[in-house]
Structures are given as structure tokens and as C-alpha cells.
Structure 1
Amino acid sequence: MTYDRVREVDQAIADALVGERARQNDTLAMIASENHVSEAVMEAQSSELTNKYAEGYPGERYYGGCEFADEVEQLAIDRARELWGADHVNVQPHSGSQANMGVYLGVLEPGDKILSLDLTHGGHLSHGHPANFAGQVYEVEQYEVDAETGYVDYEGLAEQAEAYDPDIIVSGYSAYPREVDFERIQETADAVGAYHLADIAHITGLVAAGVHESPVGVADFVTGSTHKTIRAGRGGIIMCDEEYADDIDNAVFPGSQGGPLMHNVAGKAVGFGEALEPEFEEYAAQTVANAKALGERLKEHGLDLVSDGTDNHLVLVDLRPSHPDTTGKAVEEGLEAAGVVLNANTVPGETRSAFNPSGIRAGTPALTTRGFDEDDCREVADLIYQVVEAPGDDDVVAEVSERVDELADEYPLYE
């Protein structure tokens, strides 16, 4: 795509769009929350639906001319219900964070208590960090993973919940490499009379494909992103039992949003349809297999993985034991210069700043979309380790960059 129509009216933006397409083609995306959607999803998101206001829900809009908007949104809802087995689905949230906001607004009052995982231990801003709306509107206490194992301490969580008496417990995480036992957390929530919100933003696709246990039908509410491991249009989703349907729908619109982004909903519908094909299960299984291969090879190089491995799509490396003087930011910058894009990340027991932490987080969803298998991911681990060893060495960066170029050519993305 050359963006010729954009170029006719805005040369600078066209140049930036062409540059971004080239950047994605020529680099290896390993940020765990990123993926590459299909050309069909991108085409749907650039459709004329971007022009259409459709406040309300299918069949109950506040504007006329919504017959095709209704059709698109209902298809997105029906496909989501089939994918995840949910009773009720709201596909309008603009992001996973706004999906969480929809749940909070739907069932909590200002000042109610949230119990969620600490950000430095793998939680998310929208679970109650003081810089986020959730931490400003509600009272928040946070639990941690076990410092030695890197796993959620379910017994400790139950004890903490009993002492804190939260109104809602949040599970699901942004930097947790192990499978989540949603049933145990639901038992804890039930024991203290709390709601349970399972945020599966990172693992929506893994859950849909059955390679991770599902919280749907277990947790009271399930939220997620629709553009990470599920590869649909960018945005959020809320799933719940029918008894909460009105509360959730009213909290999304008019509670926290105005008109839905119908072009994004179209992208969600197309991506959900793609995920219903048998090939998607193979993709999700390969994503996990690739992450395991990546992690095992990094361990062979002597790097420490939080929880000593992974059950899902990401690995979290703690650099302190093997490279105590090397920061995650230094490694991130060295790898980006070589064409491998991942992110510096806090680790449990973080001793540095969140802006220059001690770990790196690497994911395999986007590599798997390109066609990488376990052997390829082992080689990528070798490249990562080269930069970890010498993040500021220009010769090392150049050598890694040359091989990244070859891999990117071998597995083309957007023609």
C-alpha cells in the first residue's frame, strides 16, 4: 500500500504511514501485546463506517441510518459469543482499559474496594494504579506473586481478601507468564462476597482457541482486548452472564462512552470470524509452543525467567541474577537498533525505576503470525542474548540486524 490518496492531501502523514508499514515489515515485533492483523481486518477498519454515529445498541439506536451498523455489530456479538461461550457480550469498548471501566462503573460505587495484582508483579494500570482512573476513584489494595516462584500465591490471596474484604477481585495480567487458575480466584471472591473480574486482555486468543483455561462462565465478568492474541480490530470487549447485561451495557453507553467506533467494530467482527476458522487453533497452539521454545533457549544462555518458564505467549526475563549491571531499557534500545522490538519491564521485587527496570518482556504472537516456528524462535533467543551480552556494542547490533533482515525477508508480512 502506497497511500496515494493520503499523499495527495498530506505528504507528511503519507510518509509516516509508508514508514510504519516498512518498519513492521522489516522488524520483528515481540511486544507481547502486539500482533499483525490481516489485510481484511485493516480494510474493514478503514471502511465508510468511520462516518457513522450509532449511539445505542443494535435495534435501539438514537440515530437513523443504522441498519448496516446494526448488522455489523450483531455479527461481532454473535461471533464473540460463539468464540468464548459467553451469555452476553458488549463489543463497544474502545480499549481493554475502557472495558474494565465499564465493569467498575456497572457494579461499583466510588470508594469501593478493588483487590488486584501489583503493577510491578505483572498487573495492569487499569486494575487500580494511582495514576489511572481506577486508582483515583476506588480504594485499592494489591496482591503480589510469590517472590521465589513467580507464581500467584492463591492461598495468600485468599487470606488477603478475607482481611481486606474487597468489593471486586481482579485477575488476569499483563506480564504474567503462567496459566491463571480462575476457579480458585472465583472461590476466593465468593468466600468474601466480592465480584470477580477476569481481564484476559493478553490471552483472549489463547482462551478462544482452548489453549488456556477460560474464565467465561466462571468469573462474574470477563474483559479483554480484541487486537492482541485474537488479531481482530483494535479495542475492548466485555462478557458476562445475562443478569448483568443491562448494568454493563448502561455503563459502557452512556456511562463511559458516546458513539461506538463502528469501523473498529467491523474490524472486530472480521477478526472474530477469522478466529472461528480451524486454522486459528493451530496459530494459538503455535504461539504458546514458540514462547516455550524462546524461553528454554534463553534459559540455556543462563538468563533467569520469572517463574522459570511460561505457559502462554510471553516470557519475562529478570536480568539481575546474570547481568546485574544491565538494565532492561538498555537491552530494549540495543535490540530495537537491531530490529527486534520488545519492551523493558518491571519484575517481581523490582529494585530499579519502572522507567528503567530490571527485566525485559518478549512475546511470540506477532512472530507466529509471520510464520515463525520453534526453531526460528530459538534463533531469535540467540539474537536477543547477543544483545543482552553487549547492548551498546555497535558491531554486535550490526551483526544481529543483518540476521533480522534475513528473517524478515524470509517471513514477509504485508506485501
Structure 2
Amino acid sequence: MTYETVRATDPAVADALEGERERQNDTLAMIASENHVSEAVMEAQSSELTNNYAEGYPDERYYGGCEYADDVEQLAIDRAKELWGADHVNVQPHSGSQANMGVYLAALDPGDKILSLDLTHGGHLSHGHPANFAGQVYEVEQYEVDEESGYIDYEGLHEHAEEYDPDIIVSGYSAYPREVDFERIQATADAVDAYHLADIAHITGLVAAGVHESPVGVADFVTGSTHKTIRAGRGGVIMCGDEHADDVDSAVFPGSQGGPAMHNVAGKAVGFGEALDPAFERYAEQTVTNAKALGERLQDHGLDLVSGGTDNHLVLVDLRPSHPDTTGKEVEESLEEAGIVLNANTVPGETRSAFNPSGIRAGTPALTTRGFGEEACCEVADLIYEIVDAPHDEAVVAEVSQRVDELTDEYTLYD
């Protein structure tokens, strides 16, 4: 993709777009919620469907001129149903957070009770943080992981639910490196007569490929992002049984959104089609294998992983045991200077602020898309450790940066 037309009209924006393309080509993306989509997905998302106003759903639009919008949305729906085995799918949410909003509007009344994982323990803003709409509209209490093991305390969750009597329990997390026992959480929801929302934003691709247990058919509602491990471009998705279909669709439109971003729905359709190819299962398996290799090499260097390892696409490093005076933000900034982009992250039992926490979170979806295998991920772990051990040593940063340049040249991304 080139930007000659944009440059002729708006050179400043063209400069930024070309700079971003160069940045992605020349750095290693390890933010666990990021990935690189295919040229086909990007082309679909920049299509003429950006001009189309398609309020409503296929064959039930409020405006004319939606013949091809209907075709594209139905393809996205049908492919999502095949990928995840869902009875009903809504592909219109603009993000995973708006997918969660759709479920809350479909299932709850203002003031109802949400029970979700604490943000500092790996939860997400849209699960009920006070700064988010969910925390402002609903009453929220939060459960935690066991600080020693790093695993979800399922018994504690059950006891908390019995005491709190929530209307909905949220599972699925933004910084939890272990497989989730959705059936056990569903059993707790059933015991307290609550709905269960499984937010698989991070693991949509892993679930689709069968390398993580699926909550579809287990939880009452399943939401996800479409731009993380599934590589289908920006957006969200809601899955549910037929009994909740009308409520979910009404909650998305007209409840929380107007016209869908049909160009993004086109990207979802293309990305879901790519994920139905058998090669995607190999990609998902390699993503998990790479994360395990990355984590084990970091442990070899003496770094402490929350929960002691990973079952999915990410590792969460607690810097306090090995580098008590080093913050996650220091490491994040020095790594970015060297060309490795990940994020500082809170850890269970956090003793610092969320703006300058004690951990770092690293993911392998984007590296795997570039073609990295275990050996290359181990080398990246070595580079990360060099920065962790000396975040302010300019010579170390320069040395790591040089090796990153060699890796990005070896594992090319966009031409």
C-alpha cells in the first residue's frame, strides 16, 4: 500500500502514515493486544464501503443502497459462526469494549451488579473500572488472582459471588497468562443465578484455532476483539445463543451504536476467511509455542513470571524480585528506544502506580505473524533481559537496537 494520493492532498498526513509503516517494519511489536493484518484485510478496510450508511442488519436496513453491505456483513457473520461454533453473531461492534457495552445493555439494568477481575490483577477497564462507563452505570465488585500462584482463585470467586449476588460475572482478561476454566466460572454463575460474559478479546484467534478452551456454548455471552490474535482488523464481535439474539442486536443497534463501520466489517470478513484456512491453526499453535519459549528464556535469566509461565500468547513479568529498583515504565521506554515495543503493566499485589508499575507484558502474536519461531523468540528474550538489567545504559540500548535491525531485516513485514 502506498500513499501517493494522500500525499498529493495532504502531505502532513502522508508523512505520518509512511512513518507508521516504517515504524512497524523496523520495530518488533510485542504489545500482547496488537498484531499485523494482511494486505488483504487493510485493502478491505480502506474500501468504498466507508461511504456506505448501513443502519440495521442484512436485509433489514433503514437506508437503500446496502446490497453489497449486506453481502459483506453476512459473509462476516457466517464465517464467524463457523470459526467459533456460535448460534448467533453480531459483527457490528466497533471494539471489544463496545461489544461488552452491548452485552451489558442487553442483559442488565442500570445499577445491576457486575463481578469481574480487578484491573491490577489482569482485568479490563470495560469490566467495571470506575473511570469506564461500566463502572459508572453499574455496581461493581471485583475478584482477584491468588497473589502467590498468579492463578485465578476459583474458590474465592465462588465465595465472593455467593456473598455479592451479582447479576453478571465477567471472565476473560487482558493480562492473564493462563488458560481460563470457563465451565467452572459458568457453574458459579449458575449457582448464583447470574449471567456469564466471557470476554475473549485477547484469545479470539487461539479459541478459533482450538488451542484454548472455548466459552462458546458455555457462557451466556461471548465477546471479543477482532484485531488481536484473530488478525481481522479493528473491531469487536458478540456471540450468544439464539435466546439472546434479539436483545443483543437491539443493544448494539440502536442501543449503543448508529450505522456500522462497514469498511471494518469487510476487514472482519476477510480476516475471518483467512482464519478458516488450516494455516491459521498452525499460526495460533506457533504463537503459544513462541510465548512459552519467550517466557522460559526470560526465566533462565532470573526474571519472575506471574503464575510461573504461560498457556497462551503473553507473558507477564514481575520485575520486583530480580530488579526491585527498576520500574516497568523505565524498561518499556528503553526497549522502545531499542526497537522493541511492549508495555509496562501492573502485577498482582502491585506496590506502585498503574502509570509506573512493577511489571511488563510481552506478547508473541505479531512476532509470529512476521515468521518468528522459538529460536528467534529466545533471542528476543535475551535482548529484553539486556535492557531490563541496564535500562539506562546507552551502549546496551544501541547494541540491542542494532540486533533488532538485523531481525526486522530478516523477518520482513510490509513491502
Into which bin does the TM-score normalised by the smaller protein fall? over 0.9
Which residue of structure 2 lines up, in the alignment, with residue 294 of structure 1?
294
What are the equivalent positions in structure 2 for 1:343-354 lying under 5 Å apart? 343-354=343-354
Secondary structure of the residue aligned to 1:35 is coil
Secondary structure of the residue aligned to 2:279 is helix
Which residue of structure 2 lines up, in the alignment, with residue 11 of structure 1?
11
Once superposed, what is the RMSD of the aligned Cα atoms?
0.3
Aligned partner letter, 2:273: G
**Deviation (angstroms), 1:401:** 0.2
Correspondence 1:126 to 2:126: yes
Which residue of structure 1 lines up, in the alignment, with residue 224 of structure 2?
224
Residue deviations 1:173-198, cap 9 Å, x none?
00000000000000000000000000
Correspondence 1:328 to 2:333: no
TM-score by length of 1: 1.00
CA distance in 2, matches of 1:147, 1:42: 41
Aligned partner letter, 1:225: S
Residue deviations 1:250-270, cap 9 Å, x none?
000000000000000000000
Answer yes or no: is the 8 Å Cα contact 1:232–1:268 preserved in 2: yes
What are the equivalent positions in structure 2 for 1:376-415 lying under 5 Å apart? 376-415=376-415
Secondary structure of the residue aligned to 1:238 is strand
What are the equivalent positions in structure 2 for 1:89-108 lying under 5 Å apart? 89-108=89-108
Secondary structure of the residue aligned to 2:173 is coil
What are the equivalent positions in structure 2 for 1:308-327 lying under 5 Å apart? 308-327=308-327
Which residue of structure 2 lines up, in the alignment, with residue 342 of structure 1?
342
Give percent identity, aligned residues only: 86
What are the equivalent positions in structure 2 for 1:37-76 lying under 5 Å apart? 37-76=37-76
What are the equivalent positions in structure 2 for 1:168-317 lying under 5 Å apart? 168-317=168-317
Secondary structure of the residue aligned to 2:297 is helix
The list of structure 1 runs, each at least 4 consecutive aligned residues, that deviate by more than 2 angstroms after superposition, is none
**Deviation (angstroms), 1:339:** 0.1
CA distance in 1, matches of 2:316, 2:111: 33
CA distance in 2, matches of 1:223, 1:129: 18
TM-score by length of 2: 1.00
CA distance in 2, matches of 1:263, 1:356: 37
Secondary structure of the residue aligned to 2:116 is strand
Secondary structure of the residue aligned to 1:109 is coil
Secondary structure of the residue aligned to 2:224 is strand
**Deviation (angstroms), 1:2:** 3.2
Return 5+ residue gaps in structure 1 as ranges: none
Answer yes or no: is the 8 Å Cα contact 1:150–1:307 preserved in 2: yes
Residue deviations 1:339-371, cap 9 Å, x none?
000000000000001000000000000000000
Residue deviations 1:269-295, cap 9 Å, x none?
000000000000000000000000000
Q: Report the count of equivalent residues.
A: 415
CA distance in 2, matches of 1:405, 1:204: 31
Aligned partner letter, 1:68: Y
Answer yes or no: is the 8 Å Cα contact 1:233–1:266 preserved in 2: no
Residue deviations 1:130-175, cap 9 Å, x none?
0000000000000000010000011110000000000000000000
Residue deviations 1:210-250, cap 9 Å, x none?
00000000000000000100000210000000000000000
CA distance in 1, matches of 2:82, 2:274: 12
Secondary structure of the residue aligned to 1:253 is helix
CA distance in 2, matches of 1:246, 1:349: 41
CA distance in 2, matches of 1:349, 1:51: 48
Return 5+ residue gaps in structure 2 as ranges: none
